[in-house]
Amino acid sequence: DTGVSQDPRHKITKRGQNVTFRCDPISEHNRLYWYRQTLGQGPEFLTYFQNEAQLEKSRLLSDRFSAERPKGSFSTLEIQRTEQGDSAMYLCASIPLDAGGSPLHFGNGTRLTVT
């Protein structure tokens, strides 16, 4: 168990640019979640995958955001035409399919700064 891995740890970009983040969940964890955390707030749910299927998307996930998990392993989160309001920590988490109330395992996050 190597834990949930996220890359990059930090990303600074100019407004209007596109960015892509990667998440590698714990091996054999079927469920993968993306969250966004802004300064002084709790993490907010963005979307979740069960294997390669994206089963739920928050209304926070605007048209500029897209997430994929093409082979049911790693996932990517892309933000197009970034805005300053997108500056936040983006967290990824995973659990097995039959979690039965078990906690999500979080990565250390990708901190995005849009200038």
The residues binding another protein (CB under 8 A) are 31, 33, 35, 40-45, 48, 55-56, 91, 93, 95, 99-101, 103-104, 106-109
Distances (CA, A) of 24 to 43, 59, 94, 103, 108: 19, 24, 9, 17, 11
Q: How far is the CB of 62 from another protein (least distance, A)?
A: 19
| Choice between 74 and 80, CB closer to another protein | 74
| Choice between 18 and 113, CB closer to another protein | 113
Phi (first) and psi of residue 64, to 5 degrees: -80, -10
